[in-house]
Amino acid sequence: MRWWIFIPVMALVLSLDAALMPAFAIGGHVPQLWPLLLAFVSLYASRSAAIWAAMILGFWLDAMHPALGVGIDAPRAVVVFGPHVLACAAGAWCVLETRAWLYRRNVLTVAFSTFNCALLASLAFIAIAGIRGAYADPFPLWGGGSGGAAVGSDMVDALYSAVIAILPAWGLQSTLTVWGFATAGPRFAGGNRMNRGND
């Protein structure tokens, strides 16, 4: 995978998620594009590249979502690095495990993987936040309410993200050759593919 393409695209996707996507909110559920990018990369990149991409993406997501701690005058916004990193790695792993039996060159497959990725990342995040809540955090990292409610809400978010992802997924699929993925690009013989596996 070409990292000099992934990083700017990731920056664009995170900017869109932070600033533009709330415009498409329905009933408090905001679609996100980062699961699409992660699912797309995980569908085509080598395993190690996909996990690295997930970790980098998760690092930025952690930076963008501060947790609330106890402050002196007001609750304190504290950036906690780590939970999103692991959550994104879990989401990428889910797509990596399922991609073998998926027909990848299809926009609906990318949308389906987006749902899987977002859902597993959410479950992993809430599990981590639940463990942290037992000893470290005064407020759960997922916000207010119970963990079960957070899972339900994130499930709807994941579904909505997958629906919204169909159009941008088509755009990403059309740029497939640019990314230099190990398992995509023009059809080639198995021997050639093996030589490109180490990206």
Candidates 138, 170, 188, 192: give the one binding other proteins (CB under 8 A). 138
Q: Does 172 bind other proteins (CB under 8 A)?
A: no
What number of other Cβ atoms are within 10 A of residue 117's Cβ? 35
Shortest CA distance to 36 belongs to which of 71, 70, 67, 12?
12
Candidates 143, 163, 170, 175: give the one binding other proteins (CB under 8 A). 143
Q: Does 36 bind other proteins (CB under 8 A)?
A: no
Stretch that binds other proteins, among 108-116, 144-152, 162-170, 184-192 (CB under 8 A): 144-152
| Nearer residue to other proteins within complex by CB, 19 or 103 | 19
User: Which tokens sit at 117?
Assistant: 């990725």
| Nearer residue to other proteins within complex by CB, 75 or 152 | 75
Q: Does 177 bind other proteins (CB under 8 A)?
A: no
| Nearer residue to other proteins within complex by CB, 16 or 102 | 16
Q: Does 30 bind other proteins (CB under 8 A)?
A: yes
CA 97 to each of CA 113, 129, 141: distance values in angstroms, whole numbers, following the listed order: 11, 24, 28
Q: Does 176 bind other proteins (CB under 8 A)?
A: no
String marking each residue 47-86 x if it binds other proteins according to CB under 8 A:
-xx-xx--x--xxxxxxxxxxxxxxxxxxxxxxxxxx-xx
Candidates 2, 108, 163, 188: give the one binding other proteins (CB under 8 A). 2
Q: Does 156 bind other proteins (CB under 8 A)?
A: no
Closest separation in Å from C-beta 180 to other proteins = 8
What is the 3 state secondary structure string of 99-149? HHHCCCCCHHHHHHHHHHHHHHHHHHHHHHHHHHHHHCCCCCCCCCCCHHH
Closest separation in Å from C-beta 50 to other proteins = 11
Which residues from 89-118 bind other proteins, rule CB under 8 A?
Answer: 89
Contact 45, 52 (CB under 8 A): no
Measured in degrees and rounded to the nearest 5, phi and psi for residue 33 equal -100, -15
| Nearer residue to other proteins within complex by CB, 58 or 168 | 58
Shortest CA distance to 53 belongs to which of 69, 38, 31, 66?
38
